[in-house]
Amino acid sequence: MGLGEDDVLYNEILRAARHCISRSGLDWEATYSEQEPGRLAACFKELKRQHPYLERFQGDWPAKEMVIIALQNRRKALSAKAKAKVSTDGQTQAQFMAAAAEVDAGEVD
């Protein structure tokens, strides 16, 4: 895509891709291949409208890659958040069980 040196433009396009994903109704929890083709086409069209730089590429491949990256990043973030919550819930439960054991053992005043 030729943006190796232009992190600002790359990040702007990626931010726009996330916005276009939401506006076109793509499913954040689904993979790229599970998305509806019509919604993907609408997403690509909007992304190219917002960033005419993408018009120079045939087959929408940069838009496709940006959408894939954004979907993967969102799924990874959701997964990490869910794992952290389970870990926190497990830790809270362990603390509760330890406190209950102390009460049962008569160690608490």
Find the range with the poorest average confidence among 13-17, 44-48, 74-78: 74-78
Share the mean pLDDT of the chain: 85
Mean pLDDT of 79-106: 70
First to last CA, the chain: 68
pLDDT at site 85 = 74
| Six token digits for residue 61 | 């491949």
pLDDT at position 42, please? 96
Q: In 28-42, which positions are buried (b, 16+ CB within 10 angstroms) versus exposed (e)?
A: eeeeeeebeeeebeb
pTM exceeds cut of 0.85? no
Which pLDDT band holds residue 3 (cuts at 50, 70, 90)?
low
Domain ranges of the chain: 7-78
H-run or E-run covering 14: helix 7-24
